[in-house]
Amino acid sequence: MSEDQIKENQPVEDQPEEPEEIMEEAPQEEVESTENVATDVEDEVEEVEEEEEEVVEVRESQPEETLLLPRDTLLSAGIHIGTRMKTLDMEPFIYRVRPDGLFVLDVKKTDERIRTTAKFLSRYEPAKIAVAATRLYAHEPIRMFCKLTGATPLIGRFIPGQLSNPQYSSRIDPEVIVVTDPRADAQAVKEASKVGIPIVALCSTDNEFVGVDLVIPTNNKGRRALAVVFWLLARQILRERGELAPDRDPPATIEDFEAKVTRDEDEE
């Protein structure tokens, strides 16, 4: 056998260089992949930060809620608290129902209706606006409202014929009437409809709109709620007439409008 044949038949010796090269290349791939992952994470973080900045900019660009009083003040007064009954008429003004079954009114819609009612009533002569209330907690708010605006108060039991009977000595002739509860003040609503004058009513979730022309959705039974609503209505009317600056409040406070009920009256 020749030397060349012997060399060809000899086994090839292991070459240590190749594994060394492989061992050197492997860590480089791991480093490169780690760097790529880190870069991807940084890119994602930057994208999230950019999105958060955009959200903040959008929030800042949105107009702030402008209510006649701070929302917390309105809610603490309970003007949004309705009853456990709901009518179809009042459904558009209801925000939600609580777990205890009470229907909750939309404060923003109450705010809008107070503004609308103030503009409407400001067109009439003060003495031609009548305000009726049978409910005890509405007596003081109406007294103060009429004192500030010049309207005519009809407090307590509404005497039949007070609007419709020409022979009645104490008959009045208003051009518009406001009632605190169309059910409790049903006689006033009936006579106002008969003589054909507009009727504005404070309505809770259990009220119907029969005979009513303009509704203010609100808690019409609560002492504090009635004080806040009539104070706001008086303030807005004075502002609409130009008798009060847009950034000023009337001399009387909400506390002045709130009914002071004695123990004897409460029992009655």
Q: Mind listing the pLDDT tens digit for each residue in 61-119?
A: 334 569 999 999 999 999 999 999 999 999 999 999 999 999 999 999 999 999 999 99
Q: What is the pLDDT of residue 42?
A: 55
Q: What percent of the chain has pLDDT over 90?
A: 70
Q: Is 100 exposed, middle or buried (0-12, 13-18, 19+ CB in 10 A)?
A: exposed
Sign of the CA dihedral with 243 first, then 247, 249, and 254 last: positive
State the average pLDDT over residues 115-133. 97
Strand, coil or helix: 39? helix
Contact 142, 119 (CB under 8 A): no
Q: What is the pLDDT of residue 22?
A: 44
Model confidence at 38, pLDDT cuts 50, 70, 90, reads very low
State the average pLDDT over residues 115-127. 97
Provide the greatest CA pair distance for the chain.
151
State the average pLDDT over residues 122-140. 96
Sign of the CA dihedral with 154 first, then 158, 163, and 166 last: negative
Sign of the CA dihedral with 113 first, then 223, 150, and 234 last: negative
Q: What is the pLDDT of residue 170?
A: 87
Q: What percent of the chain has pLDDT over 70?
A: 73
Residue-wise pLDDT tens digits, 142-200: 999 999 999 999 999 999 999 999 989 889 999 999 999 999 999 999 999 999 999 99
Instruction: List residues bridging with 217 in a β-sheet.
Output: 203
What is the Rg, in whole angstroms, of the alpha carbon atoms belonging to the chain? 38
Model confidence at 43, pLDDT cuts 50, 70, 90, reads low
State the average pLDDT over residues 205-223. 96
Comparing 36 with 82, which gets the higher pLDDT? 82
Q: What is the pLDDT of residue 183?
A: 95
- Of 235, 246, 22, 54, which is closest to residue 144 (Cα–Cα)? 235
Q: Kindly tell me if the per-residue pLDDT of 124 is higher than 70.
A: yes
Task: Flag whether the pTM goes above 0.85.
Answer: no
Model confidence at 226, pLDDT cuts 50, 70, 90, reads very high
Q: Pull the structure tokens for residue 198.
A: 């507009």
Sign of the CA dihedral with 86 first, then 66, 225, and 232 last: negative
The backbone torsions φ and ψ at residue 215, rounded to the nearest 5 degrees and listed phi first, read -115, 140
Range of lowest pLDDT (45-59, 204-218, 229-243, 253-267)? 45-59
Q: Kindly tell me if the per-residue pLDDT of 1 is higher than 80.
A: no
Sign of the CA dihedral with 151 first, then 154, 159, and 160 last: positive
